[in-house]
Amino acid sequence: MNDVDEKTTDSYRSFLLLNEIDTDQPLSQRELARRLGIALGLVNSYLKHLVAKGYVRIAAFPRNRYAYLLTPRGIAEKSRLAYRHLGYLTNLYRVARRDYLSLFRRLQACGISRVAFCGVDETAEIAFLSLRETGMGLSLVMDDDHAGEDFFGNAVVPLAEGVSAMNGCVVVTSLKKGERLAGDLVWLGIARESIFRVEDLSAAEEGRSEEP
């Protein structure tokens, strides 16, 4: 990765962190790492930088807990980064919409008519739009972090509950924490061949394109 790519990645991760922190709920480093699907040590490094810049302040809560809150400067920085990455996010939408549509059509060609979703975020919403385009059904939606919420008329359930109820294949619908969710599904007893990710599809297509 060159210097420009590294700076873009750092800037985008900073934006994601600021966006997660800008909620009514105080979040710890561990909670932020889980939501973003990145290492705890990496979250710690980014937060130190954001605190030093004056974008984030540390707040103490009962029982020796600490959380992170945006400062007025942090709110302004989040808005600035959002506009800076608008083109990237627009391109991400197009790519994710295309890749999920391709994945669902492949599953449909194999005789699969319904799938389960694992992971609820902006990417999952894109995946749902692609699923509707194929006419396939959504059997259930699972995500420990969003259990109890509504996802397009489907109640989000914890992973353990979803795994016990599902019958068929599951599509990981979060790019931010996809690798962790796939690992959790395997740990809960789902066979790897029943777990599908668009990243794996893209890698397979890239490998075929490089064959002589």
Reduced to 3 states, what is the DSSP secondary structure of residue 106?
Answer: helix
Largest CA distance in the chain: 62
Question: Which run of H or E residues covers position 37?
Answer: none
pLDDT of residue 136: 94
What is the C-alpha to C-alpha distance for residues 9 and 76, in angstroms, rounded to an integer?
19
pLDDT of 7 higher than 70: no
Quick one: average pLDDT of 122-140?
92
In the CATH hierarchy, which fold is given to the domain comprising 3-84?
Arc Repressor Mutant, subunit A (1.10.10)
pLDDT of 210 higher than 90: no
DSSP secondary structure letters along 3-14: HHHHHHHHHHHH
Q: Tally DSSP H helices, then E strands, for the chain.
A: 9, 8
Quick one: average pLDDT of 147-162?
94
Quick one: average pLDDT of 171-189?
89
Least confident interval from 89-98, 118-127, 143-152:
89-98
Quick one: average pLDDT of 172-191?
90
pLDDT of residue 201: 64
pLDDT of residue 32: 84
Residue range(s) in the chain whose domain bears CATH number 3.40.50.720? 92-209
pLDDT of 4 higher than 80: no
pLDDT of residue 13: 82
DSSP secondary structure letters along 44-59: HHHHHHHHHTTSEEEE
Quick one: average pLDDT of 73-78?
89
pLDDT of residue 67: 77
pLDDT greater at residue 51 or residue 10 = 51
Q: Take residue 96 and report the two structure tokens written for it.
A: 């994710």
Residue range(s) in the chain whose domain bears CATH number 1.10.10.10? 3-84
92-209 CATH pick, 2.30.31.10, 3.50.50.60, 3.30.70.20, 3.40.50.720: 3.40.50.720
Q: Considering the chain, what is the average pLDDT of its residues?
A: 83
pLDDT of residue 78: 87
Quick one: average pLDDT of 151-162?
94
pLDDT of residue 88: 67
pLDDT of 76 higher than 60: yes
Sign of CA dihedral 107, 113, 118, 119: positive
Task: Identify the top-confidence range among 94-98, 108-112, 122-126.
Answer: 108-112
Does this model's pTM top 0.85? My answer is: no
Quick one: average pLDDT of 24-38?
78
Question: With bands split at pLDDT 50, 70 and 90, how would you rate the model's confidence at 5?
Answer: low
